[in-house]
Amino acid sequence: MNSQIKSINERKHYIDWLRILAFGLLFLFHSWRPFDHFPWHIKNEGQNFIFDLLTMFTHGWRMFLIFLVSGAGTWFAMRSRNKAFVMDRVKRLIIPFLFGIILIIPPQRFYEWIMFHDFAGSYFDFLLAYPSQQLGANMGSSLLLWFGHLGTHIWYLPFLFVMTVIILPLLHKIQKGKISFTWLKRMMQSNYGVFILVLPMIVVRIILKPIYSEYTDWADFVIYIFPFLYGFIFMSDSEFIKIIKKKMYLFLIVGVICSIYFLYTGSQNPQNVQEYLHPSFSLYHIQISIVSMLIAYSWILFFLAFFARKMNFSHSILIPANISILPVYILHQTLIIVIGFYVVDTNLNMFLKFLIITLTAIPAAIILYKVIQINGVLRFLFGLKKKPKKAVIQDKQVESAMAFDK
Report the SS3 class of residue 39: coil
Provide, rounded to the nearest whole percent, the portion of the chain with pLDDT above 70. 93
Nearest to 42 by CA among 330, 332, 342, 350: 342
Which of the 8 DSSP states describes residue 303? Answer: H
Asked if residue 368 has pLDDT above 90, the reply is yes
In a domain, 387, yes or no: no
401 in a structural domain = no
Yes or no: say if 272 and 342 are a contact pair by the CB < 8 Å rule. no
Give the range of the structural domain holding residue 158, as residue numbers without chain letter: 2-381
CA distance 272 to 260: 14
395 falls within a domain: no
Report which of 404, 373, 405, 401 is spatially closest to residue 89, judged by C-alpha positions.
401
Q: Is the pLDDT of residue 283 over 90?
A: yes
Q: Give the residue ranges of DSSP H helices in 10-122.
A: 13-32, 49-59, 62-81, 85-89, 95-99, 106-116
**Between these two residues, 67 and 141, which has the higher pLDDT value?**
67
Classify the C-alpha dihedral 267-268-270-273 as positive or negative: negative
Residue 9: per-residue pLDDT: 53
b vs e for 47-83, b when ≥16 Cβ sit within 10 Å of the residue's Cβ? ebeebbebbbbbbbbbbbbbbbbbbbbbbbbbbebee
Least confident of 161-170, 183-192, 270-279, 381-390: 381-390
Closest of 378, 380, 369, 374 to residue 325, by C-alpha: 369
Alpha carbon distance 297, 290 (integer Å): 11
The whole-chain average pLDDT of the chain stands at 92
Q: How confident is the model at residue 268 (pLDDT cuts 50, 70, 90)?
A: confident
pLDDT in the model for residue 402: 46
Which parts of 175-233 are beta strand (E)? none
Instruction: Indicate the length of the chain as a whole number.
Output: 406
For the chain, what percent of residues have pLDDT higher than 90? 85
Whole-number Å distance between alpha carbons of 358 and 340: 9
Task: Let me know if residue 390 belongs to a domain.
Answer: no
What are 24-59's pLDDT values in tens digits? 999 999 999 999 999 999 999 999 999 999 999 999
Buried b (16+ CB within 10 A) or exposed e, 199-234: eebbebbbebbbebebebbbbbbbbbbbbbbbbbbb
pLDDT in tens, 167-186: 999 999 999 999 999 999 99
Cα dist from 17 to 7, 99, 325, 333, whole Å: 18, 28, 11, 21
* Structure-model confidence comparison of residues 394 and 8, the more confident one: 8
Give pLDDT tens digits for 227-261. 999 999 999 999 999 999 999 999 999 999 999 99
| Pair 242, 13: CB distance under 8 Å | no
The pLDDT assigned to 233 comes to: 98
In-domain check, residue 117: yes
CB 249 within 8 A of CB 256: no
Between 394 and 147, whose confidence is greater?
147
- For residue 322, pLDDT beyond 90: yes
pLDDT at position 145 is 94
Task: Name the packing angle between helices 49-59 and 13-32 (round to 10°).
Answer: 140
Residue 391 lies in a domain: no
Task: Give the pLDDT confidence score for residue 400 in this predicted structure.
Answer: 42
What is the per-residue pLDDT across 70-127, written as a single tens digit (0 to 9) for each?
Answer: 999 999 999 877 678 999 999 999 999 999 999 999 999 999 999 999 999 999 999 9
Yes or no: say if 210 and 281 are a contact pair by the CB < 8 Å rule. Answer: yes
What is the model's pLDDT at position 388? 67
Q: Does 389 or 129 have the greater pLDDT score? A: 129
Nearest to 58 by CA among 340, 262, 319, 346: 262
Neighbours of 95 (CB within 10 A): 15
User: Is there a domain that residue 397 lies in?
Assistant: no
The residue-averaged pLDDT of 368-374 equals 96
Q: 77 lies in a domain?
A: yes
Domain count for the chain? 1
Say whether 278 sits in a helix, a strand or coil. coil
- Specify the 3-state DSSP secondary structure of 179: coil
